[in-house]
Amino acid sequence: MTKIQDHRIASGFIDTARVYLKAGKGGDGCSSFRREKYIPYGGPDGGHGGKGGSIWFEASANITTLAEIACHPHITAPDASPGKGNRKDGAYGEDLTLYVPCGTVVKRAGTVLSDLKEHGQRFMAAKGGRGGRGNTAFKTRFNTAPKISELGEPGEEYEARLELSVLADVGFVGLPNAGKSTLLSAISAAKPKIADYPFTTLNPNIGIVSHKGKSFAAADIPGLIEGAHDGKGLGVLFLKHILRTRLLVHLVDPLGFGGMKPEKAVRVIEKELKDYHPLLGRKITILAVNKADLPEAAKVREALAGKFKKREVFLISAATGKGIGRLLDHMLKLLPTVKEADLYQAAARSVPAAAQPKGGFTVSVDAEGVYSVKGSRVEKLIAMTNFNQPDSWDRLHRIFKTIGMDKALRKAGCAAGDTVRVGNKEFHWSEEEPAAGRPGKFAYKYRKFDQEYGGNL
C-alpha cells in the first residue's frame, strides 16, 4: 500500500473497493411420498426448495465513501430452506441490500455492470440460486412414482470492483495552492483543510452552492500536476471524479507553481485532462485568476485573455470575495446549456458478453488427457443433480444423450476408460449401460427418451 493510499484511508475517504459476492444457494427439493391410512397410492408429495437470497447495491445520497464496504469485503447472502413432504416448499433466503454512494460504478472483470447515479437506484449484483424441484415436478403418466429431486442451484459468486466518482455539477481544477479549497469554502458550507503548502487537500471536497435562488454541487479536485495522468502526484487518484462534472473552473495562481509561469500552467493542466480522457478536453472550462489582491494578478489576467480569446477570463479573490459573484453568475448561465448526452456514461464502455457456444457447451482435452465439458447449462445441471438417487443418474444420462454430449465426446476422441469432467464432477466413459449399483459411467446405449425430460434443462 502506498503512502498516498494510507492518507486516504486515514481520512476516511475510499473511492475504490474490491468485494467478494456470494449469493444464497437455493433450497434442495424433497423426494417423499404421501402415506396415509386407507390411501395406498398417495403418490409423490415432495415440495420444492426456496430461492436463495440475492445481493443488491442501492445508491444513497447519505453516503459519501466506500469505506464501510471496503472494510467488510466478503459479502454472503443467506441460503434458502429445503422443501419438505406434504408439498411444503422451502422458505426463501432473505435478500441483502448494500448501500453505496451515488456515482458508484460496479464492475466485473473490467466489464461495467451498473452505474448507480441517482438516489434509490438499485442493481442486483448477485442473483440467488433457484430452489431445486421436489419429486412432484417429475410425475408423468410414464412415471407416476418418481424418486427424483433436485439440489438447490448455487448462487452467483464472483469478485466485483466498485469505483466511486464524486457527483458534482462544477469541478475546481488547477495546480496545487491555486486556491481551490479556499474558493469552495467561500461559496459553500464545506470546510476543507486549507494551508500554504502543496498537496494540503488529499481528498475531493464537495459543497452545495446557493446563489440567487439556485443551487448546484461543486467539488475541488486535489493533486493535479504535470504528468498526473501517468501517476505523478495525487491527481491520478482523483481525475476520474472530474469526468461526471458538467463544467470545470480552472483556477490559476498568478505566482505560478514550481517555477512554471501561469500561461504554461494553464496548458499543462488542460493537457493532463485531455490525456486522461478525451471527454475532459471537450468540457466547458472557465478560466479564473485567483488571488486578485496580489499586484501580479491583473497582468496575468490580461495575458491569459490575450492567449485564450474565445474564453472569458475572470479575476477573483477567494480570500476577499472579489469577483466571485460574477463568476457564480457565469456558472449558473452555463450549467443549463450542458446536455445529458455530453456527460460521461460509464455503462457505455461495458464489454459485450461472450457469445454462447453452439449446443450450449464446449469439449476440450487437457495435458493429462481429461476431457473437460464446459457450459453454464451443463454445469448448472451437474450442480443440481442429486447423485444419491439412482433415478437422478438415469435422468442425467438421458439429458446428456439428448443434448448431444455423447456424440461430441466421441468426436473429440473419448474412448472407454477416459475421464470426463463436467463442472466439479468427474466420470468414466463407457460404451456399456452402467451396471446396477454402479452409477457414474457415461453410457452409449440409452433407454428411449420420453417427454419427462424435455423441459428439465
* DSSP codes of every residue in 311-364: SPEEE--TTT-TTHHHHHHHHHHHGGGS-GGGS--GGGGPPPPPPPPGGG-EEE
Q: What is the pLDDT of residue 5?
A: 42
Classify domain 3-164 by CATH number. Answer: 2.70.210.12
CATH number, span 358-453: 3.30.300.350
CATH 2.70.210.12 intervals, the chain: 3-164
State the pLDDT at residue 211.
87
Neighbours of 83 (CB within 10 A): 30
Contacts 24+ apart (CB under 8 A), 402-405: 402/449, 402/453, 403/359, 403/360, 403/361, 403/378, 403/457, 404/359, 405/361, 405/363, 405/373, 405/378
pTM attached to this predicted model: 0.76
| Level-2 CATH architecture, domain 170-343 | 3-Layer(aba) Sandwich (3.40)
- Residues 21 and 155: their CA atoms lie apart, in Å, by 10
For residue 242, the model assigns a pLDDT of 79
| C-alpha radius of gyration, the chain, whole number | 32
What is the pLDDT, as a whole number, of residue 451?
34
Start-end ranges of CATH 3.30.300.350 in the chain?
358-453
Average pLDDT, the chain: 81
Low-confidence ranges of the chain (pLDDT < 50): 1-12, 195, 197, 228-229, 231, 348-351, 354, 435-457
Domain with CATH 3.40.50.300 in the chain: 170-343
